[in-house]
Amino acid sequence: MPTNLPAEAQKALAKYQLARTIPDKIKALEEALSLIPDHKGTEKLRGQLKRRIAELKREAERKAMMKAGRRDFFTIAKEGDSQVVIIGSTNSGKSSLLKALTNAKPIIAPYPFSTDKPTPGMMYYEDVEIQLVELPAILTEELEETQYTSKSLGLVKNADGVIILLDGMNDPVKQLERILELLDEAGISIKPRKGEIILEKKDSGGIRIVTFGNFQGTYKEVEELLKNVGIKNAVVKIYGDASIEDLEETIIRETIHKKALIILNKSDAVQPSTLEQLKKIVASMGIPFAAISAEKGTNLEELKEATFKTLRLIRIYTQKDGIVSKKPIVMYENATVRDLAEIIHKDLARKMKYARVWGRSVKIQGQQVGSDHILQDGDIVEIYSS
């Protein structure tokens, strides 16, 4: 981000940060855009602002459409430890996959749009419950948008992860291209990130930056970027190998990142050359891939495992008086002992004195740790409180 933006443009960007409604956000961004001179150094920022304006306009349209509709059948309450939605073109086998992996009994049919509302089912992987939700098709067989495209993409935003299911019998490479376009237009990025950034805006307290891992930037850059867009009070948590560009994306584009898998269905009927081509493309994107047959039941165990890994969930077993819990508490990667205490009991985080941990996150088994200690999959934790 160029730090020498005209003061007026900085003001407009600050207004954007404060704006609560979509029209106000659009107005502030358009104003900022008109005040930022157009040259090489501002090219990237101008591009981001323009994309953001286009997204906001689409979102306004979608909201207006939702309002016009009568009832909303389109929300599925989260159940289990994590929610993963299945998206794809019609006939790609979404219902067949849901049936093969869960207790759900969806309609499976060779005609298009047999599923017209989101359909959930529960999948079990070891001790973890993953809710799978089939979303109505986002593409026709001719790979055009459907009446469900924008609603289904809205549910992707709310999920913890997304399975992109490709129909191996209907030009899967082209399908993937179209789906990636649709996701991008909806402001959803599935590009795997080496790190993660969480920005919590506050009312006071100034800027506080916390890094876990290997941040590719300086605190000064972060402070300048926030100042430029008018954020005065915030906690910025930066995990892993995040970069300053990732932070720009988080605060300007408000891009939503989703953990994703790309799955090729109907592997029983797929051309080997198509499979090879697709494998190459997906490998270059760095996204997990599997070829399955929902109907024949091929490779489904691999798919389950890949889903669990992609979600980056961790299982934490609690211990009390020497007895280890049978069922784990399922949390996200980078969760701390404090996060765990908060899940167990509201007061426990406050009353906690220290914890003992056995497992991969400690060097010495039974090591005493504080509440900022980051846990890992399979850890056993006993919390001691006053």
Ligand X SMILES: Nc1nc2c(ncn2[C@@H]2O[C@H](COP(=O)(O)OP(=O)(O)O)[C@@H](O)[C@H]2O)c(=O)[nH]1
Query: Residues in the site for ligand X, rule: CB under 6 A?
Result: 88, 90-96, 108-110, 114-115, 265-266, 268-269, 293-296
The residue whose two tokens read 């990237």 is 44
For 17, the 3-state DSSP assignment is: helix
- CA–CA separation, 86 and 91 (whole Å): 13
CB of 182 to ligand X, least distance (A): 16
**Interface pick for Mg ion out of 82, 95, 150, 152 (rule CB under 5 A):** 95
Residue (82 or 115) nearer to ligand X, CB = 115
How many of the other CB atoms lie within 10 Å of CB of 208?
Answer: 12
Applying CB under 5 A, which part among 90-98, 176-184, 261-269, 346-354 lies near Mg ion? Answer: 90-98
**Residue 324 touches which member of ligand X, Mg ion, none, C-beta under 5-8 Å by kind:** none
Complex with Mg ion: residue 86 or 381, whichever CB lies closer: 86
Q: Which is nearer to ligand X, 66 or 107 (CB)?
A: 107
Which of ligand X, Mg ion, none does 293 bind, CB closer than 5 to 8 A by kind? ligand X
Measured from the CB atom, the residue of 221 and 295 that comes closer to ligand X is 295
Helix (H) or strand (E) holding 56: helix 43-68
Q: How far is the CB of 123 from ligand X (least distance, A)?
A: 16
Residue 265 contacts Mg ion per CB under 5 A: no
Q: Which residues, 104 to 163, sit near Mg ion by CB under 5 A? A: 115
**Minimum distance from residue 84 beta carbon to ligand X (Å):** 15
- Residue 51: exposure state from Cβ atoms within 10 A (0-12, 13-18, ≥19): middle
Structure tokens at 7: 């003061």
The entry of Mg ion, ligand X, none that residue 295 binds, CB within 5 to 8 Å by partner kind: ligand X
Q: 3-state DSSP call for residue 377? A: coil
Could you give the CA distance from residue 24 to residue 20 in angstroms, rounded to a whole number?
A: 7
Q: CB of 152 within 8 A of CB of 102?
A: no
CB of 89 closer than 8 Å to CB of 167? yes
- Residue 86 tokens read as 């299945």
**Residues binding Mg ion (CB under 5 A):** 94-95, 115
